[in-house]
């Protein structure tokens, strides 16, 4: 079957996909320090010449200027998203280093999802691959990125039906298996970063708990604030940095199944 786009367009879907690919390649090029679209294309050719090949100008803007508007909108939006989601990492690195980290990360791993919620999903991976962007605080920065991504997962991750006392009635304890919510994360950290982030938010005057911005109750009936409850254990013996086990908890939420697979 021939791939044909909408009637009268004169382009196949394959050609439209190629146009989209080229346009996004132009938009996602990191902006210059002056917040402008780079003057050179990926292969070194003048960007203005390349864009003129597949983007039409209009009576007010050149091809370059038209694409630059979308490029700025894209970069300002995704940079702001990471700025808001990682206040702790920003405090660890400082504004300038954090900006450079965001640009390098988004250049390596541009947005691939319909929702900006997933934008930082590979930031921990990137910091492991490129620790230079967090120097000289690589360990703390990596732990902070893990901690703050766990917060995103805790509030936006999937939920299972709530566990109630009635669910336990008549169950064989020898076959009983309890599960935790998939949005819960257990972390072993080298620093008490939960206390650090709380203090940071108090200092900045921002909301102390992310869930208070979203409010309400989860689909499992658990208050958002309860899902955010945290327990920590510190071990600072031997003069080493405090080891911390951190878990985002939902005390009254969970799943239940029997070992034989019965619901």
Average pLDDT by consecutive 10-residue portion of the chain (263 residues)?
Answer: 52 89 92 92 92 93 95 95 95 96 96 91 97 95 95 87 84 84 88 90 65 35 35 39 43 43 41
Backbone phi and psi for residue 186, each to the nearest 5 degrees, phi listed first: -105, 125
Spatial distance between the Cα atoms of 228 and 248, rounded to a whole number of angstroms:
6
**pLDDT in the model for residue 179:** 81
Residue with tokens 């091809």: 63
DSSP letter for 56, please: -
Spatial distance between the Cα atoms of 124 and 33, rounded to a whole number of angstroms:
25
| pTM of the complete model | 0.71
**pLDDT in the model for residue 206:** 58
Q: Do 116 and 142 touch, CB atoms closer than 8 A?
A: no
Please list, residue by residue across 3-37, b when 16 or more beta carbons sit within 10 angstroms of its beta carbon and e when fewer do: eeeeeeeeeeeeeeeeeeeebeebbebebeeeeeb
**pLDDT in the model for residue 228:** 36
**pLDDT in the model for residue 99:** 96
Residue with tokens 């250049």: 107
């Amino acid at each position: 079957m021939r791939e044909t786009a909408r009637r009268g367009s004169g382009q196949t879907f394959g050609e439209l996909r190629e146009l989209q690919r080229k346009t996004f390649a132009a938009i996602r090029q990191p902006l210059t320090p002056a917040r402008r679209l780079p003057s050179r294309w990926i292969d070194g050719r003048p960007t203005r010449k390349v864009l003129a090949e597949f983007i039409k100008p209009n009576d007010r803007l050149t091809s370059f200027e038209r694409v630059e508007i979308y490029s700025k909108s894209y970069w300002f939006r995704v940079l702001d998203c990471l700025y808001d989601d990682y206040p702790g990492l920003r405090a660890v690195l400082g504004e300038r280093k954090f900006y450079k980290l965001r640009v390098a990360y988004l250049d390596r791993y541009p947005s691939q999802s319909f929702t900006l919620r997933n934008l930082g999903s590979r930031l921990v991976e990137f910091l492991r691959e490129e620790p230079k962007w967090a120097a000289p605080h690589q360990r703390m920065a990596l732990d902070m990125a893990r901690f703050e991504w766990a917060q995103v997962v805790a509030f936006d991750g999937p939920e299972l039906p709530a566990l109630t006392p009635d669910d336990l009635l008549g169950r064989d304890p020898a076959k009983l298996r309890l599960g935790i919510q998939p949005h819960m994360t257990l972390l072993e950290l080298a620093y008490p970063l939960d206390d650090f982030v709380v203090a940071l938010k108090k200092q900045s005057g921002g909301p102390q708990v992310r869930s208070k911005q979203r409010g309400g109750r989860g689909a499992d009936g658990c208050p958002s604030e309860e899902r955010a409850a945290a327990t920590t254990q510190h071990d600072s013996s031997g003069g080493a940095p405090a080891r911390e086990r951190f878990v985002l908890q939902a005390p009254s939420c969970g799943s239940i199944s029997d070992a034989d697979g019965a619901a």
